[in-house]
Amino acid sequence: MQPHELTLAAAATEIRERRLSPVELVDSVLERIDRVEPHVEAYVTVTAEQARGTAREAEHEIARGGRRGPLHGIPAGLKDLIDVAGIPTTASSRVRADHRATADSTVTARLRAAGAVLVGKTHTHEFAYGLTTPQTGNAWDGGRVAGGSSGGSAVAVATGAATFALGTDTGGSIRVPAALNGVVGLKPTYGLVPRHGVTSLSWSLDHVGPITRTVEDAALVLATLAGHDPRDPASLDTPAVDYRPERDPDLTGVRVGVPSNYYFDHVDPEVAAAVHRAIAQLEALGTRLTEIDIPMPRYIQATQWGLMVPEATAFHARTLRTVPELYQTDVRILLEAGELMGAGDYLRAQRARTLMRGAWARVLDEVDVIVAPTVPMTAVRAGQETVTWPDGTVESVSDAYVRLSSPANITGVPALSVPVGHDTAGMPIGMQLLGQPFSERTLLQVGHAYERTQPARALAPVA
């Protein structure tokens, strides 16, 4: 096994036991980037020399007994909305062609303090305003979409071109590409991870979180990222938590809610079957299954768009007027549409969110975890714009991919996507776990327990 094939937890153990050096690990990941990048285009920028220098520093520090923790010497990719001092933050847009960050974002600073090694900035759908990341190919089939908007981060992890990565999630942008590329994606509770120094799409919906090979890896990264920062007005001051799941979690009596509506409507049969098999596995591990009704389903799409569209347009107001030609057509149209939405529409969306949060809280009082598909279908072919369901309903690909993930953004609850197999075309399928605010440890325990029953997942065979 090559070092780039190791999970974060395994690499951390090898480094701690002095069987692997950070330099060896970083060199292996950089070589992997060189090999797979022509096929997938996950990275905007690769910081190879800087990464090698940081790895040498980590090696010397660890040799002197100064290991900082499990992320020390571990290679990471950061979505190119996240500021890294001295490196461009392009948001994968010509609008940001000349932008260079002058300071680290909070999450970058915390990763540096933990000893992580930045190997590059990963592609996003322009300004995170989309669900496909068109410049990046799926890790399992380059002719299919990577998912978005954190597509570059998910593909980098799935191919071994990063040991872990960070993404952002406004309507599913961590979980969607994680599901479509067969990796783990965690959207934390709103306010748990600070967003200072991260380019916004929609202030009231944005989250930052990890994309990793395993659930345990996600827990290790979350422990570094979480914590209050007053520079983010939404950041919450919460007690420190040990998120790392138990080696052999006991799920006896854990209440698992299985939706009777919404989450299995207009879902590909292979996706539904894989998720139901995973639910049966959770029941075999001792959980108690309970059928639940998802509240206010008819308002979910309108509320998501009613919040996101005007907030995004407000953020881009200046450049939309001065350099509209620099935006990609799909993003420019969405931003211009936001100018047509009135204050009343936005306020009604805010009111609907308040009602939805209350209704979801009542459901989550009855169960510990809600289990559902992450996305209704696996990765579609690049350029496919719609999907037609068996009843004749036609849905845009973007609407389909955001449909099952957006409730967690509207309500702010944590959500974890875990791989649960592949369809007959070989494309990954994801299962989503949702819970009460700040119940990340429970989600991680359940996800880890399921993961332990499955064979170890290999990297995508991209090259």
Structure tokens given for 156:
């980098």
Q: Tell me the C-alpha to C-alpha distance, in Å, between residue 274 and each of 115, 213, 281, 284.
A: 38, 19, 11, 15
CB 243 within 8 A of CB 445: no
Please tell me the distance from the alpha carbon of residue 183 to that of residue 198, in angstroms, as a whole number.
Answer: 23
Residue appearing with tokens 């609850």: 413
The residue type found at 183 is V
CB 123 within 8 A of CB 135: yes
Please tell me the distance from the alpha carbon of residue 276 to that of residue 371, in angstroms, as a whole number.
Answer: 9
Residue appearing with tokens 């096994």: 1
8-state DSSP, 128: G
User: Which active-site residues does the annotation give?
Assistant: 79, 149, 173
Please tell me the distance from the alpha carbon of residue 186 to that of residue 435, in angstroms, as a whole number.
Answer: 12
User: Can you name the residues that pair with 257 across neighbouring β-strands?
Assistant: 290, 370
Q: Is the four-CA dihedral 305, 153, 75, 50 of positive or negative sign?
A: negative
Please tell me the distance from the alpha carbon of residue 91 to that of residue 201, in angstroms, as a whole number.
Answer: 10
Give every CB contact of residue 223 below 8 A, 6+ residues apart in sequence. 241, 242, 243, 244
Of 82, 69, 81, the closest CA to residue 12 belongs to 69
Instruction: For the beta carbon of residue 323, count every other beta carbon within 10 angstroms.
Output: 11
